[in-house]
Chain A
C-alpha cells in the first residue's frame, strides 16, 4: 500500500536545480548573434514630445538600429484590454491602453519613447543616452483627488475628464440600514500600496528563425499561452509558429502577468525585422517605472450598527488610482469592492468607485490585488464602531460572522469573474477561536497589557479577519503521459514563479498513478508542451491547474487499469497501482511496471482494435463554476518604542483556511512570504512622488523592503473547509498572507499607543508617520 502523498510536506523537486545555479532564468538565455536592446524613457510625467533625434545614437559603436513610434508603422497599436468590464448596470468605462512607444505625448515617467538595438548591452545603453527628445512639459496629475478637478489637465485628451470608470453596486438598501442604526461611524481612509519588487526584473528574449518561420520567445510572464496568442496575432503569424517559454521566474506576484508590455511586444518585432535574436533585460531602476504597480485609494466610508453591535449596513465610496493607462480593466478596484464585506453577514451595502487616470505608472494587480484596501476599510470601521459602543473588538466581529449554515453565501455584487460574488464554503467562528487561543487574547488584555502599561511600555494587540476570492476560471488543462521509462511527464499551460508547482502537482499525479513524487516530471510555462491555458494569477494555479492535472491523471489511471486488466485477464476492481506498477491486489509478483505497460500500449507492429489510442496518456481540463473563497485570521502583539517609534513584533499568528492542503510546507511558505509583503506594505514600503510626478525613491537603497531583521516568527495553524467547487476541495492561498496586514498593524499600533490617543486611518505607516500622528493627537 502506498501512503497518500496529497497533504504531505514533500521536499521540492525543483530545488536542486535552483540551489546549484543550474535553473534557467530568462536572462540566462544566450544565443549566437544575439543583439541587446535598451530603452529611451520619458523624464517627464506629462509632456508633449516635440521631436526625437536619433541620429547621434545611430553613429554610436555597435548600434544596429534605433526605433521610434514612427518606425513601427501599422505595428504601432495600443495594447489589448486584458479584462473587459463586468456587467454592472450604468457602468461608465473608458479604457485607455499603453502603447509600445510614445508618439506625441508621454503620460508617466519612464514611458518608453525609443528603443536602441546594439551588439552589446553596454553599447545599447551608451547609445540610448545619445537619443535627444525635445519635450513640452505639461502639468502633471499626481494626487488622486486632483484628477477630477474641473480644470485638471487631461491625460487622455479625447476624454472629457480623467475618468477611467465609475461603478456603483448595491446589496439591499443602505439608506434603510442607516435609518435603523443606533450608531453610524464615518471616516476617510487612505490606503496606498507599493511595488511587487520581484527579485528578478522583467526580461524578454525573442528569436525569429527565418528558415523555419518560427518565433521563440523567453519571457518573464505568468501567462505564456496568452502572450503566445497575442503576439502571434499582432505579428500575423499562426499560433503554431510562436513558442513562448516562461522558464524559471524569479518571483511574479502579479505584475508579470500577460501585460503585453511594450518591451514584450517590441522584441519579437525587432527580431523578425533584423533577423537576429534580441534580448532586453529590465534593470532595477526601470522596474520602478516600467513595471506595473499597485497604489492608492481614498475611501469615504460609513458603517451603520445596531445597539448590540450587529452591522446593518456599510457605505463605501472611493477613488482608485489607475495610473496613466488601464489595460487591466477594473480588477483591482472590483476586488476592493467585493472583498470589503469579508467574513461578515452585512445585509445592506452601497459601494461605488471612480477609477481615475493619473500621471503615474500603470496600476495592475499585485499580490492581494485591491483586496487589502477593502479589508482595511471594513476592519477599521469595526474597530471604530466597537470603541464607540464600548464593545470588545472580538465580540463585534464574532457577532457579525457569516454562520456556517449560510453557505453558499451570496454577496450579490458582481465579482471579477463577472458573476455575483458567492462564497462557496467557510467556517469562520472556529478559526477566530483558534487565533484567540494562540495569541492568548484574554490573558494579554486582562493581565499582560495592564502590567506592561504600568511599566510605561507601549504594547498592543491586533486581530483581524479576511476572505480571499481565489481560484477563478476560466480553465486550465494538462497532459499526463506515462513514459516507457516508467517516469511520468505532466505538461500544463500555466507559468510558475516559485509556488512549488513541480512538487505539489507531482503529488497529485503520484497519488493517482502510484508512483513516487520524484518520478513525475512537470513542464510548465512552455507553449510547445501544452497549447491551452490562462495563467498563474488570482491564487488560481493550485485550484484550477491542480484539478486539471488531477483529471488528466485520473484518465491515465483508467487507461492503465483497462490495459492491465486485458493483459492480466482480471477484473479492474482487483487491480491496484503502487510502487510504479500495476498489480493484482495482494499479489506483488503479478506486477507490471508502468513503463512496460506504456510500451505495450504503443505497439510498433501488428494491429490494434479500431479506436485504440496509443500509450498511456490523457489530456483533460478543469474550469470551476466560480471562484473559491479562502479565509483566515491574523493576530499580532507589537511593542512600540516611544522615543524612536520603531516597532518590535513580539508575536504573529495566522490561522487560515484554504480548503484541502496539497503540501503544507509549501503552503506555509506562501503564507510567510505573503505576510512579509504585507508587513512591507504596512510599515516600510512607500513610493514617494514629488509634485511633478517624479518618483523620488526608485532604488533598493531608498525603497525599503523588509529584511530578515524586521520579520517576526510567524506561527501558523490551519483549518480545512473543503471547497465544493472542485474535486480536490482546494482553495487558493497565494495572496492570503498579504491581505489583512494593514488593518492588523493599524489596530495593534493604535492599541499600543492608546494612552496617547492616536487614530490610524491610513497605510502605509512608518516610524516618522507614527511620530506625526502621536504629535497631532
Chain B
C-alpha cells in the first residue's frame, strides 16, 4: 500500500500536485490533505450525498471516488462556490444558492448542507425554472436528518428566483 502516485488537478481554480496512496478516498484527500473541510462525510458509502462536490462541473460523491481518479480533472468544493465571501464580507457575497438556504432556513445543524448546495448548483444551471417535483427529485438522493426537507425545497425555489 505504500506505492504512491502523483496526481495533478485543479481544485477551486488552484492547480494542485500531490503524491497520494492509490486507496486514498477523494473525500479524505480534500478534507485531510487539502484541508478543505467544508466537504463533509455522512456515510462513506455513497448513500447520503454529504460529500458531494463538482468534478468538471458535475455533481459527484467524493466518498466513492479515489483521489487518483480525480487526476487531471477540475474540482469545486463548497469553499470554491463563493470565492469573494469572507467572514467580514456579509452574506450577500455568498452564492445565490447559499443565500437562498439562509433566507429560507434550509439548514439546521448544517452538516448535510454543503452536499445539498453542490448537488443543486449544477441542477439549477441546467434547470433554471424547476417544478416542485423536479426539485424534490433533484434532492431525493441527499439525506438531511434535521430539516424535514420542506425548507430546503423552499430554498431551491428561492435560489431559482435569485439566479434567474
Contact = CB atoms under 8 A, between A and B. Distances in A.
Contacts of B24: 122
B109 A20 contact: no
Contacts of B50: 199
Given A21-B79, A673-B146, A676-B148, A709 B113 contact: no
B107 A199 contact: no
Dominant secondary structure at the A interface: loop
A23 interface: yes
Interface in A636-693: 665-666, 668-670, 672-677
A210 interface: no
B56 to A, nearest CB: 20
Contacts of B149: 672, 676, 707-708, 711
B136 to A, nearest CB: 5
Interface string A188-224: 0000000011111100000000000000000000000
Contact of A16 (B23, B91, B109, B143): B91
A665 B150 CA distance: 12
Interface string A17-48: 11111111101101000000000000000000
Interface string A496-528: 011110000000000000000000000000000
A284 B43 contact: yes
Given A15-B101, A708-B153, A700 B45 contact: yes
A316 B159 CA distance: 51
B93 to A, nearest CB: 9
A11 interface: yes
A251 B109 contact: yes
B85 interface: yes
Contacts of A61: 2
B102 to A, nearest CB: 5
B47 interface: yes
Contacts of A714: 148, 150
A473 interface: no
A205 to B, nearest CB: 13
A673 B35 CA distance: 31
A28 B103 CA distance: 26
A16 B136 CA distance: 24
Contact of B108 (A23, A25, A283, A500): A500
A587 interface: no
B87 A498 contact: no
Contact of A498 (B2, B35, B79, B109): B109
Interface string B147-159: 1111111000000
A25 B40 contact: yes
A670 B45 CA distance: 28
B42 A284 contact: yes
A12 interface: yes
B117 interface: yes
Most buried by A among B23, B78, B145, B147: B145
A152 interface: no
Contacts of B44: 283-284
Given A250-B109, A500-B108, A21 B45 contact: no
Nearest to A677: B145
B15 interface: no
A663 B150 CA distance: 18
Nearest to B135: A708
B113 A25 contact: no
Interface string A50-70: 000000000001000000000
A251 B146 contact: yes
A709 B42 contact: no
Contacts of A497: 109
B110 A248 contact: yes
Contact of A19 (B2, B107, B151): B107
B140 interface: yes
A22 B93 CA distance: 14
B112 interface: yes
Contacts of A700: 42-43, 45, 47-48, 143
Nearest to B108: A498
A249 interface: yes
A21 B136 contact: no
Contacts of B48: 199, 700
Interface in B93-152: 94, 98, 101-103, 105, 107-114, 117, 136-137, 139-152
A200 B31 CA distance: 15
A115 interface: no
Contacts of B37: 21, 24-25, 27-28
Contacts of A706: 148
A197 B145 CA distance: 7
A713 interface: yes
A709 B111 CA distance: 20
Given A27-B31, A251-B145, A672-B151, A20 B38 contact: yes
A20 B102 CA distance: 11
A499 B102 CA distance: 14
A420 to B, nearest CB: 34
Contacts of A14: 110
Interface in B37-81: 37-45, 47-48, 50, 77-79
A290 to B, nearest CB: 15
Dominant secondary structure at the B interface: loop
B148 A250 contact: no
A19 B147 contact: no
A200 B42 contact: yes
A705 interface: yes
Contact of B78 (A21, A669, A673, A676): A21
Most buried by A among B39, B50, B113: B113
Contact of A707 (B28, B41, B78, B141): B141
A253 B39 CA distance: 22
B147 A672 contact: yes
A28 B107 CA distance: 19
Contacts of B78: 20-21
A30 B113 contact: no
Given A16-B102, A672-B150, A675-B148, A22 B38 contact: yes
Contacts of B102: 11-12, 15-16, 19
Contacts of A16: 85, 87, 91, 94, 98, 102
A777 to B, nearest CB: 32
A355 B107 CA distance: 37
B152 A708 contact: yes
A332 B137 CA distance: 37
B110 A18 contact: yes
Interface in A235-269: 248-253
Contacts of A607: none
B163 interface: no
A54 B107 CA distance: 44
B42 A498 contact: no
Given A19-B117, A284-B45, A200 B40 contact: yes
Contacts of B103: 11
A21 B143 contact: no
Contacts of B28: 121
Contacts of B148: 669, 672-676, 706, 711, 714, 737
Contacts of A252: 109
Contacts of B112: 199, 250
Contacts of B40: 25, 199-200, 250
B145 A17 contact: no
Nearest to B111: A250
Nearest to A24: B37
Interface in B1-52: 1-2, 21, 23-24, 28, 31-32, 35-45, 47-48, 50
7 contacts: A19-B107, A19-B117, A121-B28, A249-B109, A284-B43, A709-B140, A711-B150
User: 7 smallest A-B Cβ distances: which pairs?
Assistant: A21-B38, A250-B111, A18-B110, A498-B109, A672-B148, A676-B148, A498-B108
Given A250-B109, A707-B149, 15 more contacts: A16-B87, A18-B110, A20-B85, A30-B32, A122-B1, A126-B1, A198-B111, A198-B145, A250-B42, A498-B108, A500-B108, A666-B105, A669-B108, A673-B148, A676-B145
